[in-house]
């Protein structure tokens, strides 16, 4: 049963990961520093989210959500560095605070549950 669940999870995760990777490879991104920074953050997030399922839903959730949350932090930092809209700067700041708190919770959980 665990193997069947792990295969299902892996299959579902692989579809959007590979689809996004293909979409990103064909994207005609601009040459601005923010374009490069956004693309770099997305590529890192997608690469890091693609992990081998362990069969333990809790571990797999944390292993995949950590890079997802870090990607949100990285993209929000790009907004703070290059964006000009004060409302989006406020949103980016709140995203960073929320995601960093959740990242800390997940890292603490991982530390407790390592084998």
Tell me the pLDDT tens digit for each residue of 87-97: 999 999 999 99
Reported as a pLDDT band with limits 50, 70 and 90, residue 27 is: low
DSSP character for 113? Answer: T
pLDDT tier, 85 (very low <50, low <70, confident <90, very high otherwise): very high
Q: What is the pLDDT of residue 8?
A: 44
The pTM for the full model equals 0.71
CATH: 3.10.50, 1.20.1260, 1.10.3470, 1.10.1330. Which one for 2-112?
A: 1.20.1260
Q: pLDDT tens digits for 29-59?
A: 678 888 898 898 889 888 888 888 999 999 9
Instruction: Dig out the tokens for 55 from the structure.
Output: 């069969």
- Given a cut of 90, whether residue 73 has pLDDT beyond it is yes
* In 1-113, alpha helices (H): 2-26, 33-49, 57-82, 86-112
Q: Following CA atoms 80, 23, 99, 2 in sequence, which dihedral angle do they give, to the nearest 10 degrees?
A: -170
User: Any idea where the domains of the chain sit in the sequence?
Assistant: 2-112
Phi, psi of 29 (to 5 degrees): -75, 150
Is the pLDDT assigned to residue 17 strictly greater than 50?
Answer: no
DSSP 53-82: --S-HHHHHHHHHHHHHHHHHHHHHHHHHH
């Amino acid at each position: 049963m665990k193997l069947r669940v792990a295969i299902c999870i892996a299959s579902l995760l692989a579809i959007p990961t590979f689809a996004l990777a293909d979409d990103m490879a064909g994207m005609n991104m601009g040459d601005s520093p923010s374009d490069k920074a956004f693309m770099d953050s997305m590529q890192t997030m997608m690469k890091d989210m693609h992990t081998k399922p362990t069969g333990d839903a809790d571990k797999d959730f944390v292993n995949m959500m950590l890079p997802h949350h870090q990607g949100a932090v990285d993209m929000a930092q790009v907004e703070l560095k290059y964006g000009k809209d004060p409302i989006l700067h406020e949103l980016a700041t709140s995203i960073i605070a929320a995601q960093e708190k959740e990242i800390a919770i997940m890292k603490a959980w991982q530390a407790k549950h390592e084998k």
